[in-house]
Amino acid sequence: MPDQVFLAPGEPVDLDNCAREPIHIPGSVQPRGVLLVVQDEDSVVLQASTNVADVLGRPLDGVLGRPLPEVLGAGPARIVLEQLAAVPDHRTRNPGLVHVDTGTGTVVLDVVVHRPPPATLADPGPVFVVELEVADGPRPLTYGSTYESVRDAIADLNRAGELTALYDTAARHVRRLTGFDRVMVYRFDAEYNGEVVAEARRSDLEPFLGLHYPASDIPPQARALYEKSWIRLISDVDYTPVPVVPTAEPLSGRPLDLTYATLRSVSPIHCEYLRNMGVRASMSISLLRDGKLWGMVACHHYSGPHAPSYGVRAAAEFLGVALSARLVAQVEEELLAESRRASGVLARLVGASRDEDVRLVQALTRTDDLLELVPADGVVVWAGGDLATRGRVPDEEGCRKVAAWAAAVADGVLATDHLADAPGAPDAPGVAGALALALPDGGAVVWLRDEVVRTVDWGGDPNHKAIAVREGDGVRLSPRQSFDLWREHVRGRSAPWDERHVSTVADLRVHLVEALFRRGQAEVFAARALQRTLLPSRLPAVPGWAVDARYEPSGSGQVGGDWYDVLVLADGRLALVVGDVAGHGLATAAAMGQLRNATRAFLLDAAPPATVLARVGALARWTLPGQMATMAVALLDPATGEVEHAAAGHLPPLVVRADGSAAWRPLLGSPLIGLLDGAPAADRLTLAAGDTLLLLTDGVLERRGESMRVAMQRAAAHVGRPVPGALAEVVDHLRDAASEDDATLVLLTRR
Closest CA to 380 of 395, 390, 369: 390
Beta strands in 224-277 (DSSP E): 231-234, 242-245
Give the integer Cα–Cα distance in Å for 392 and 139.
66
Residue 163 lies in a domain: no
Instruction: Tell me how many degrees the CA angle 67-26-71 measures, rounded to the nearest 5.
Output: 15
CB 330 within 8 A of CB 322: no
Measured in residues, the chain has a length of 751
Asked whether residue 474 falls in the same domain as residue 374, the answer is no
Cα-Cα end-to-end distance for the chain = 88
* Whole-number pLDDT of residue 473: 45
Q: What is the CATH number of the domain that holds 60?
A: 3.30.450.20
* Whole-number pLDDT of residue 412: 75
Q: Would you say the C-alpha torsion 718, 724, 729, 732 has a positive or negative sign? A: positive
Give the integer Cα–Cα distance in Å for 37 and 115.
9
Residue 28 lies in a domain: yes
Domain that holds residue 253: 1-135+238-267
Which of 558 and 39 is assigned the larger pLDDT?
39
Q: Of 226, 249, 267, which marks where a domain is finished? A: 267
Across the chain, which distance is largest between two alpha carbons, in Å? 137
Residue 707 lies in a domain: yes
Residue 105 main-chain phi, psi, to 5 deg: 160, 180
What pLDDT digit, counting tens, does each position of 45-88 carry? 999 999 999 999 999 999 999 999 999 999 888 888 877 776 56
- Name the DSSP class of 67: B
Task: Please tell me the least confidently modeled range out of 383-387, 486-490, 525-529, 563-567.
Answer: 486-490
Give the integer Cα–Cα distance in Å for 741 and 582.
10
What value does the mean pLDDT take over residues 368-374?
Answer: 86
Q: At what angle do helices 499-534 and 586-603 cross, to 10 degrees?
A: 20
Give the integer Cα–Cα distance in Å for 158 and 162.
10
Residue 573 lies in a domain: yes
* Whole-number pLDDT of residue 318: 81
Asked whether residue 513 falls in the same domain as residue 603, the answer is no
Asked whether residue 515 falls in the same domain as residue 541, the answer is no
What pLDDT digit, counting tens, does each position of 650-671 carry? 999 999 999 999 999 998 888 9
Beta-carbon-side half-sphere exposure of residue 248 (alpha carbons within 13 Å): 6
Asked whether residue 80 falls in the same domain as residue 105, the answer is yes
The amino acid present at 503, given as its one-letter code, is S
CB under 8 Å to 50, separation ≥6 — which residues? 60, 242, 243, 244, 245
Give the percent of the chain with pLDDT over 90.
Answer: 27
pLDDT band at 609 (very low <50, low <70, confident <90, very high): very high
Give the integer Cα–Cα distance in Å for 289 and 121.
24
Residue 715 lies in a domain: yes
What pLDDT digit, counting tens, does each position of 199-219 carry? 999 999 888 888 877 777 777
pLDDT band at 681 (very low <50, low <70, confident <90, very high): very high
pLDDT band at 385 (very low <50, low <70, confident <90, very high): confident
State whether residue 51 is helix, strand or coil.
coil
Closest CA to 183 of 202, 165, 164: 202
What pLDDT digit, counting tens, does each position of 287-330 carry? 888 888 888 899 999 999 998 888 788 788 888 888 888 877 77
CB under 8 Å to 569, separation ≥6 — which residues? 575, 603, 604, 606, 635
Closest CA to 391 of 452, 453, 431, 448: 448
3-state helix, strand, coil in the chain (%, to 5): 35, 30, 40
Closest CA to 647 of 585, 599, 690, 591: 599
Residue 116 main-chain phi, psi, to 5 deg: -65, 155
State whether residue 45 is helix, strand or coil.
strand
Average pLDDT over all residues of the chain: 81
CB under 8 Å to 737, separation ≥6 — which residues? none
What are the Cα distances from residue 342, in Å, to 44, 370, 376, 504?
62, 10, 14, 7
The amino acid present at 497, given as its one-letter code, is W
- Name the DSSP class of 354: T
pLDDT band at 413 (very low <50, low <70, confident <90, very high): confident
What are the Cα distances from residue 330, in Å, to 32, 139, 161, 171, 413?
38, 35, 8, 17, 28
Give the integer Cα–Cα distance in Å for 98 and 175.
29
Instruction: Tell me how many degrees the CA angle 327-332-336 measures, rounded to the nearest 5.
Output: 155
Q: Within 489-572, where are the H helices? A: 499-534
* Whole-number pLDDT of residue 34: 95
Give the integer Cα–Cα distance in Å for 312 and 110.
12
Q: What is the CATH number of the domain that holds 600?
A: 3.60.40.10
Q: Within 354-450, where are the H helices? A: 360-365, 369-373, 396-409
Q: What is the CATH number of the domain that holds 507?
A: 3.30.450.270
Domain total for the chain? 4
Asked whether residue 434 falls in the same domain as residue 465, the answer is no
Asked whether residue 573 falls in the same domain as residue 625, the answer is yes
Q: What is the pTM of this model?
A: 0.55
* Whole-number pLDDT of residue 477: 38
Residue 310 lies in a domain: no
What pLDDT digit, counting tens, does each position of 87-105 carry? 566 566 777 788 888 888 8
Asked whether residue 7 falls in the same domain as residue 128, the answer is yes
Residue 598 lies in a domain: yes
pLDDT band at 283 (very low <50, low <70, confident <90, very high): very high
3-state SS of 728-742 is: HHHHHHHCCCCCCCC
CB 577 within 8 A of CB 626: no
Task: Please tell me the least confidently modeled range out of 502-506, 634-638, 664-668.
Answer: 502-506
Give the integer Cα–Cα distance in Å for 267 and 158.
36
Asked whether residue 576 falls in the same domain as residue 501, the answer is no
Residue 218 lies in a domain: no
Closest CA to 577 of 589, 565, 563, 568: 565
CB under 8 Å to 294, separation ≥6 — which residues? 187, 188, 287, 288, 324, 327
CB 258 within 8 A of CB 25: yes
Asked whether residue 435 falls in the same domain as residue 486, the answer is no
What are the Cα distances from residue 465, in Å, to 18, 92, 144, 483?
13, 40, 45, 10
CB under 8 Å to 589, separation ≥6 — which residues? 526, 527, 528, 530, 531, 534, 559, 561
Q: Can you name the residues that pair with 413 across neighbouring β-strands? A: 437
Cβ-based burial of 36 (10 A; exposed 0-12, middle 13-18, buried ≥19): buried
pLDDT at 366 over 80: yes
What are the Cα distances from residue 378, in Å, to 6, 396, 414, 445, 601?
48, 13, 16, 11, 50
pLDDT at 160 over 80: no
Asked whether residue 567 falls in the same domain as residue 486, the answer is no
Closest CA to 579 of 655, 656, 634: 634
Asked whether residue 596 falls in the same domain as residue 734, the answer is yes
How is the beta sheet containing 431-438 ordered, strand by strand? Answer: 386-391, 378-383, 444-450, 431-438, 413-416
Give the integer Cα–Cα distance in Å for 67 and 38.
8
Asked whether residue 364 falls in the same domain as residue 418, the answer is yes
Residue 163 main-chain phi, psi, to 5 deg: -60, -40
- Strands 212-213 and 654-656: what pairing? unpaired
